[in-house]
Amino acid sequence: MAESYDVIVIGAGPAGYHAAIRCAQLGLKTACIDEFVGPDGEAALGGTCLNVGCIPSKALLDSSEHYHKANHGLDAHGIKVGDVKLDVPTMIERKNKIVKQMTGGVAQLFKANKVEWLAGHGKLLSDRQVEFSPLKKKSKQTLQAENVILATGSKPIDIGAAPIDEDRIVSSTGALEFTEVPKRLGVIGAGVIGLEMGSVWSRLGSNVVLLEAQDTFLAPVDGQIAKEAQKVFTQQGLEIRLGARVTETRKGKQLSVHYEDKEGKQTLQVDKLVVAVGRRPHTDNLFHEDTGLLTDERGFVHVGDHCETNVPGVYAIGDVVRGPMLAHKGMEEGLMVADVIAGKPGHVSYDTIPWVIYTHPEIAWVGRTEQSCKSAGIPYATGTFRFAAAGRAVAMDDTVGMVKIIAHKETDRILGVHIVGPQASELIAEAVLAMEYAASAEDLARTVHAHPTLSEAVHEAALHVHRQAIHRGN
């Protein structure tokens, strides 16, 4: 008899491990299968996010920011430092330790919640059976489940023009492992990951050039905010070449990156090249064709509003399904599906998922951009406030950027909040909550904000929607 479970989750990234823990909390017998193997050759939980994504990238962003500050940001505070030295291997080792701590933490949570961790490959068969191929054994097992949750995440997109070798041409994973600072670094794709990786190595001393195929910088971001960010990043030394489509790379003594822009064919010589052109859903050998599981034309597993697939009892969540490829979106889907399986109501507010780009200044937003209001014909009003006029930002010597609030012209309901500036990643939480509760700009304007805090910039932007800001002209 096949071992049977109430729920089998395939994939232990943020989506899968949240789903598994919540299922177990709700009293369901739960197993979670994951095939990820860390650099030490051991199975590790946490998926892309904890191992090679969100967490290690933020560790290096923080380290590189400290280095940058030690070199450039302390004089004005009256702090003189001597010769600042960089030790990249120690920086990478610190990042690796953090990853180990976080992935180990998920293993402990599995233990505490009685989620059975099965290290190996999972494949959906018909009738809610799952074929499990353990990492360390040749034999396969067939498991039976009442419900199966597919949470297999995503993989970097590889383009023919720049095949990844994880040595000179690397994915984001390789860009987290450089043991020395490349003198010249090329990055294909000026999206979220390209900008974060470019920032790390630029702060550590690389000459970074980003080649972006689109003519618009950060097209999904509110135009005013993207413009401001582009100006700041360029001042910081990131060279962003727009309308630049990479066509070929040649490896000689130097790495030549050939691309085309409106002026014709161009070549860039670099030491290392990061390919950050997006990610694709990871469904390799995930399901037998007998299951009849539907995927869409881009390879995402097709799901409905509650992440149900077309196969009864089979759900899919996280990067492997439609919607933004963000860890917290997958986490919420994981919790929702667990609740639905346990017979409780489940819901994800897809309209209020925050986005963050962890550059310095950070960029964060939620809801509609001004351009999307225009194209949808929604009447709107905007309020803005610059950090340069916020006392706390001045005291911190971190005054670049602004907050922008977009509210419905007639109802005053907040439609979108956009921030480029210090700690935007934290400040956006207030906006998400406000939108979740259908707040108006006036609601936010009448909410007391502590002084002096960066959040006062959000408050003033809300006041400015009705031209009642105090610390700026209206």
Half-sphere exposure of 328 (CA within 13 A, CB side): 10
| Residue 213 near which of ligand AMP, ligand FAD, none (CB within 5-8 Å, type-dependent) | ligand AMP
Nearer to ligand FAD, 367 or 383 (CB): 367
Spatial CB neighbours of 101, under 8 Å, sequence gap ≥ 6: none
Spatial CB neighbours of 122, under 8 Å, sequence gap ≥ 6: 8, 10, 11, 33, 35, 130, 131, 132, 133, 286
Contact at 8 Å (CB) between 237 and 252?
no
Selected range binding ligand FAD among 34-42, 227-235, 290-298, 368-376, rule: CB under 6 A: 34-42
DSSP state at residue 388: G
Quick note: the x/- pattern for ligand FAD over 3-22, rule CB under 6 A, is -------xxxxxxx------
CB of 51 to ligand AMP, least distance (A): 18
Nearer to ligand FAD, 124 or 257 (CB): 124
The interface with ligand AMP within residues 169-188 (CB under 6 A) comprises 188
Nearer to ligand FAD, 151 or 465 (CB): 151
451 is catalytic: yes
**Does position 13 bind ligand AMP by CB under 6 A?**
no
Q: Quickly tell me which residue has 């919420």 as its tokens.
A: 332
- From 24, 208, 277, 301, residue interacting with ligand AMP (rule: CB under 6 A): 277
Strand order of the β-sheet with 414-421 is 355-357, 362-367, 414-421, 402-408, 380-386
The interface with ligand FAD within residues 163-182 (CB under 6 A) comprises 172
SS (H, E, C) 215-281: CCCCCCCCHHHHHHHHHHHHHHCCEEEECCEEEEEEECCCEEEEEEECCEEEEEEECEEEECCCEEE
328, 347, 451, 459: the active-site residue: 451
Spatial CB neighbours of 220, under 8 Å, sequence gap ≥ 6: 355, 369
Quick note: the x/- pattern for ligand AMP over 210-249, rule CB under 6 A, is -xxxx-----------------------------xxx---
Of the candidates 305, 343, 341, 345, which has an alpha carbon nearest to the alpha carbon of residue 145? 341
Contact at 8 Å (CB) between 136 and 118?
no
CB of 168 to ligand FAD, least distance (A): 19
List residues near ligand FAD by CB under 6 A. Answer: 10-16, 33-36, 47-49, 53-54, 57, 121-122, 151-154, 172, 193, 282, 286, 318-320, 325-328, 330, 358
List residues near ligand AMP by CB under 6 A. Answer: 159, 161, 188-193, 211-214, 244-246, 276-278
So which residues are the catalytic ones?
451
